[in-house]
Structure 1
Amino acid sequence: MTAATGAATGPGSDAGTGPDTEAGAATGRPPARWLVLAVVCLVQLAVVLDNTVLGVAVPSLTRDLGAGTADLQWIVNAYSLVQAGLLLAAGSAADRYGRRRLMLLGLAVFGLGSLAAGLSHTTGRLIAARAVMGVGGALLLTTTLAVVLQVFDGPERTRAIGVWSAVSALGYAAGPPIGGLLLAHFAWGSLFLVNLPVVLLGLLAGRALVPESRSPRGGPPDLTGVLLSTVGVTAVVGAIVSGPEHGWSSAQVLGPAAAGLLALTAFVRWELRCPHPMLDLGFFRDRRFVGAVTGVVLITFGSTGVLFLLTQQLQFVRGYEPLEAGLRMAPFALTVVALNFTGLAARVTARLGTPRSIAAGMAILAAGFAVAALAGGGYGPLLVGLLLMGTGCALANPAIVAAVLDAIPPERAGAGAGVDGTMAEVGGSLGVAVLGAVLNARFAALLPAGAAAGSLPAALATAGTDGERSAVLDAFAAASRSGQLAGAGAVLAGGLTAAALLRRADRRAERQARAPSGTA
């Protein structure tokens, strides 16, 4: 039994009846662990949806609140920036004060922020409410994964992580369609108020079913580390997000980027000499951990960036409405869900091993990106690409998450979840920014003479004839393909690199395990 398992106490540790009860008692696992996973996944779905659901509400917010471009950016980004900045601190706090306790606190904060957002009548209040939701979201993203690690072990853990990852993919893809359905019948406030039943159910079920667990480590909290990591990550992610709009050499980007890097440098120096550090930087001396983190950054870099470009291509080039584009992207998420919920991806991972699963999954994902990028007319070729993308993601993503967390002691599960979430946020932000920059540069180079550069709408506005409009759209399609292929290359390189580092670390561990018996 692991240290973290032994620390699990409180309501829910003996909950549940039926076939699972005897097995749970025999293994030391909570008998109601699959119900715990259901609660955790429901909470996770609500958190991830709020990263994507607002995209279809831009016209409503502009009309009802008079939101300008800057207001809309802050409404969308306040949530993700606060969430990204607090993930490391939230994971450390969960280990120290209790994962169940912090999950319930995160639910309460997320619910209060959702209520305030749904009832907002000004952009300022909505932005503030979104920031409060980001605080709750950071607590929930780290604690939900940490709870999964506490209540599952062995092959069940791999399957449970796969289900958790699949729910994240489903939330990302389901945001636009769900947002479109809500806005078709209700005001934009419904996008936030719909979270309240989920929060209430999560609070009741979480208190009844989820066992408490915390790290046995003592010592005072690392408040300096919390401050430096929060400032550093928030500033760096904010600079990445604003880069495409303001220009990478602008003061609005270079200033926050420099401040963030200085704060992160100070954070590293402080953590190295702090007697009770928030994050043990010794993890980064572990090749297995470094390989897994490399995989997290590059799979989110490629996936988020390519899906961002593909969504634009479906709307601008193929002419789909936002809801229709979201529905046509659904096979990607549904494939991830199907392969993980049935346990097929976990069985393949058990057979191949983690390094090969990551390499194979990210190679299939990269192939899917390439097929989707090069798909011609008709939906069939694009569907093949989406199915390949879903298959690759279903295989690689849980294996990468498991590799990150396997490299960290069980009593630091929250810190591991915080690192995983932070690297995913950085990778996703970089993917949108960098691949978006590739698209813009290629688009400007391919535009016909006389067309206005800068954006597709601007270029179309200056196109006087149908032939010129067609040339502009062809240029955008070609630029989008370039960006998507660049993302595919990054994912493939990341998969091979992560797998090589993990395999090398495994071989080193095997040699060390054999050394005592060989020299005895």
Structure 2
Amino acid sequence: MLPLGSLGDRYGRRRVMIASLAAFGAASAWAAWSGSAAMFIAARAAGGIAGAGIVVMAMSAVTVMFAEDERSRAVGVWAGVNFLALPTGPILGGWLLDRFWWGWVFLINVPVVVIALVAVVALVPESRGSDRGRLDLVGMTLFGGGLAGLVYGCAEAGTRGWGSAVVSAALLAGTLLLIVFALWQRRLTRGLPAAPVSARAREPLVDIGLFRIPEYVWGTVLAFLCSLAMIGVLFTLPQYFQAVLGVDSIGSGLRLLPLLGGLAVGATGAEPLTKTIGAKVVLVGGFAVLGAGLILGSATSTGNGFGFVSAWTSITGAGIGTVLATATAAASQPPPVSQAGGEAMIDAARADTVVEGSE
């Protein structure tokens, strides 16, 4: 996400979005017609890279197309649609798997991509940031390696245990690489005289100055924490529905509808509440609602009916939608329009949570 945010700043965000959409459609078709596990994994990796470009450029487009006084509402709508897609996927995917060839789970992306391409070409204006200096390949390597270490460590902890030397080494290596990445970005941002000429010629992936803006820092952190809770819920519920209650994949997806409804209510209602009582109060209230829903959910047992589960999942969804929409809007306000790297950092933090949670 960070490298693609940098490419969008340099070569044009609309152009990178179009390329990412086209690549995502091609990778989806490739996955559907894969002839082996290795080919399928390669196709999904390519789709992941393309998907990263779509997410970052879509968020950047929101900041470009809307004035500051309208941006909060636009981000709320974006957050609502974005996070409603997570529980919607199992519903549609389960329905397709129960009735059609499994490859349609991926081929359904192709017409969606075509519609999106038409919309982007017709509606999204071109924008770009600074193109000074060379691409920061060192920063890309450090950041990618750091996240890979953290994700691998968390994934292996499930089988090896947190005390495993492999897990500890992966987590330590990932943390150290991210620290070095932060120091490297600080050097590039400040352009210290001690830095070599080649370092000063590079454009940093993220302007470290953004982290001196409280709204940006806390918005990113709170969005990350809320995403962690959301992925925990989305990871646990399908297993409860299928392994404990014995429902099929589409039945499991349909039982996520109360969570989806709560997300919609929270995400769409966050913006008017923020204008009325302020972002801080809305965030505190959103986390309180989220916590109440999770406390209720901890009492779930095999004897509970769907009414109880739908009640606490809808409450949890409302809290998640409120916090994510408000925190994302707060983090997206301060960065100048010319810095897609700031938006990419927000998205990358949430994406890392998604990957670790799914593992």
TM-score, normalised to structure 2, is 0.89
Q: Provide structure 1 residue ranges, at least 5 long, that are not aligned to the other structure.
A: 1-86, 434-520
Q: In the aligned structure 2, how far is the partner of 1:362 from the partner of 1:430?
A: 22
Whether 2:281 is the aligned partner of 1:356: answer yes
- Following TM superposition, by how much is the alpha carbon of 1:396 offset from its aligned partner in structure 2, in angstroms? 1.4
Whether 2:329 is the aligned partner of 1:402: answer yes
User: How many pairs align?
Assistant: 344
The amino acid that maps onto 1:396 is: V
- Following TM superposition, by how much is the alpha carbon of 1:265 offset from its aligned partner in structure 2, in angstroms? 2.7
User: What is aligned with 1:279?
Assistant: 206
Q: 1:371 aligns with which of 292, 296, 307?
A: 296
- Following TM superposition, by how much is the alpha carbon of 1:360 offset from its aligned partner in structure 2, in angstroms? 0.8
User: What is aligned with 2:226?
Assistant: 299
- Following TM superposition, by how much is the alpha carbon of 1:131 offset from its aligned partner in structure 2, in angstroms? 0.5
- Following TM superposition, by how much is the alpha carbon of 1:393 offset from its aligned partner in structure 2, in angstroms? 2.1
Of structures 1 and 2, the one with the larger relative CO (CA 8 A, separation 6+) is 2
User: What is aligned with 1:333?
Assistant: 260
3-state SS, counterpart of residue 246 of structure 2 = coil
Percentage of matched positions with identical amino acids: 34
Whether 2:99 is the aligned partner of 1:99: answer no
The amino acid that maps onto 2:78 is: W
- Following TM superposition, by how much is the alpha carbon of 1:255 offset from its aligned partner in structure 2, in angstroms? 3.9
3-state SS, counterpart of residue 287 of structure 2 = helix
User: What is aligned with 2:236?
Assistant: 309
- Following TM superposition, by how much is the alpha carbon of 1:217 offset from its aligned partner in structure 2, in angstroms? 5.3
Q: 1:392 aligns with which of 311, 319, 330?
A: 319
Q: In the aligned structure 2, how far is the partner of 1:398 from the partner of 1:223?
A: 32
Q: 1:108 aligns with which of 5, 22, 40?
A: 22
Q: Provide structure 2 residue ranges, at least 5 long, that are not aligned to the other structure.
A: 189-199
Q: In the aligned structure 1, how far is the partner of 2:64 from the partner of 2:13?
A: 9
Q: 2:349 aligns with which of 423, 427, 432?
A: 423
The amino acid that maps onto 1:371 is: L
Whether 2:160 is the aligned partner of 1:246: answer yes
TM-score, normalised to structure 1, is 0.63
Q: 2:104 aligns with which of 186, 190, 194?
A: 190
3-state SS, counterpart of residue 255 of structure 2 = helix
> What are the Cα deviations for residues 201-247 of structure 1, in whole angstroms up to 9, with x where unaligned?
22222112210011145222222112221222222223223321332
Looking at CA atoms only, which structure, 1 or 2, has the larger radius of gyration?
A: 1
Q: 2:177 aligns with which of 232, 249, 263?
A: 263
Residues 199 and 156 from structure 1, CA distance in 2 versus in 1: closer, same or farther, beyond 3 angstroms?
A: same
| 8 Å contact from structure 2 (residues 71, 333) kept in 1 | no
- Following TM superposition, by how much is the alpha carbon of 1:432 offset from its aligned partner in structure 2, in angstroms? 6.0
User: What is aligned with 1:517?
Assistant: none
The worse-fitting range, judged by mean Cα deviation, of 256-265 and 125-134 is 256-265
- Following TM superposition, by how much is the alpha carbon of 1:287 offset from its aligned partner in structure 2, in angstroms? 2.7
Whether 2:150 is the aligned partner of 1:233: answer no
| 8 Å contact from structure 1 (residues 163, 337) kept in 2 | no
Residues 165 and 255 from structure 1, CA distance in 2 versus in 1: closer, same or farther, beyond 3 angstroms?
A: same
- Following TM superposition, by how much is the alpha carbon of 1:173 offset from its aligned partner in structure 2, in angstroms? 0.3
Whether 2:89 is the aligned partner of 1:175: answer yes
Alpha-carbon RMSD across the aligned residues, in angstroms, is 2.0
| 8 Å contact from structure 1 (residues 300, 431) kept in 2 | no
| 8 Å contact from structure 1 (residues 89, 230) kept in 2 | no
3-state SS, counterpart of residue 157 of structure 1 = helix
3-state SS, counterpart of residue 411 of structure 1 = coil
| 8 Å contact from structure 2 (residues 265, 318) kept in 1 | no
Q: In the aligned structure 2, how far is the partner of 1:179 from the partner of 1:89?
A: 30
User: What is aligned with 1:88?
Assistant: 2
- Following TM superposition, by how much is the alpha carbon of 1:426 offset from its aligned partner in structure 2, in angstroms? 3.1
User: What is aligned with 2:51?
Assistant: 137
- Following TM superposition, by how much is the alpha carbon of 1:121 offset from its aligned partner in structure 2, in angstroms? 1.2
